[in-house]
Amino acid sequence: MQPVKKRYIILDALRGFALLGICLANYPEFSLYSFLSAEDAAALQTPGLDRALRYLLAFFVDGKFYTIFSLLFGIGFSIILEHALAEGGQGLKVFYRRMLCLLAIGLLHLWLLWSGDILALYAVLGMLLPLWRKCSDRGLLRWAGAFLLLPVAVDAVVELAQLRPAGWFHDKQWEICARYGITEENFAYWLRDSDDYKGVLQFLHQGGFERMTEFIDGNRYFRVMGLFLLGYWAGKQKFFARLEEFRPLLRRIVRGGFALGLPVSLAYAWSSVNGHPWGLTAHTACYTLSVFPMGFAYVAGLCLLYLRSRDAGLWRALAAPGRMALTNYLSQTVFGILIFYGVGLGLGADMSLSFVLPVALGVYLFEMAFSALWMRYFRFGPVEWVWRMLTYGQYLPLRKSE
């Protein structure tokens, strides 16, 4: 089963746009700035500007672009699943094999390169999508809404009962840290000061347990599942092939998303930068009522702009990295390692946020240019090509001339 799919430039452009936000969101961690203590961060080049940038990131970026990325992955999975269901039992086998290959890519990324991987979680949750294949459109929307709202209820219970749902993973993380000599004092500097790959692997060992703690404490699986189901609904509706029909809905999403998301984002940014002073449940509620409405409004707003200017060069520029989104997502990790870790240039932990963000923008602009050049001659991005061949178990031509 190798279906021929029509590409919609708006989907690729949205993926490219999401990659920009993900790069801006992740590079404070790649640069090790996010791990610095308040005192060490204040000793860097531009502490006042950095604090303002932290507010802006929390307001405009945090969670919003991961929302878009997850929604688009859900749409992509829905297209693959619909083709699989049309093929019957054999098609579902190919779908699960595709998810298992993505899981392998995600685990290699997590264990060998960066503890912030999201692909493994996407693959696991993607395998659950067939459970909803007989669900009605209204049912999909209800399930999606329930999953997106569930973290507020979960955190209310956790806070009231003083539970530690990720306690075992947190304790295991620091047990591994003690084994390697990673402490709270050198945590932010470990990757910068490790001039060989062995030190990186030691940090990644504990980082896998830290990532599980983040997934559990952040209810990430509920949120991603909700976005996948919303993407599944949009894919079944052929939403991006019928944008003109959905123009009134897009306008309502923009108006409602920004009307709710903008003011609540002020509260969310304050809570994020100041260590959740109102408590866990209030912070999660602020996240839910700001991040998702804003992320949906970004998507709807870009779709409306696309309907007004389909031939603008902006869409081709954004679509180039979006056509090889998996390759570019992994490439951002490689660039982060080469720039900030001791096995590379070793610039991490010494760079203000005001310098980190231009570096992130530079990495993204390079990816845009490289992607445009690559897609001129090749049918798939490099990682996408490998993913397809592993899925179908056969060689697939890469060059367009083949």
Task: Spell out the domain ranges in the chain.
Answer: 9-392
Determine the Cα–Cα distance for residues 278 and 280; give it in Å rounded to an integer: 7
What's the pLDDT score for residue 6? 61
Which residue's structure tokens are 């999953």?
147
Q: How far is CA 188 from the centre of its chain?
A: 23
Q: How far apart are CA 379 and CA 132, in angstroms?
A: 32
Burial class of 269 by CB neighbour count within 10 A (0 to 12, 13 to 18, 19+):
buried
pLDDT of residue 1: 41
Global pTM value: 0.95
Report mean pLDDT in 10-residue bins for the chain, 402 residues: 64 97 98 96 96 97 96 88 77 90 97 96 95 93 98 98 96 98 97 96 97 96 97 92 95 98 98 95 98 98 96 95 97 98 97 98 98 97 96 93 80
Which pLDDT score, from 0 to 100, does residue 3 have? 45
Residues in the chain: 402
User: Do residues 53 and 353 make contact, with C-beta atoms less than 8 angstroms apart?
Assistant: yes
Token pair of 272, please? 């994020």
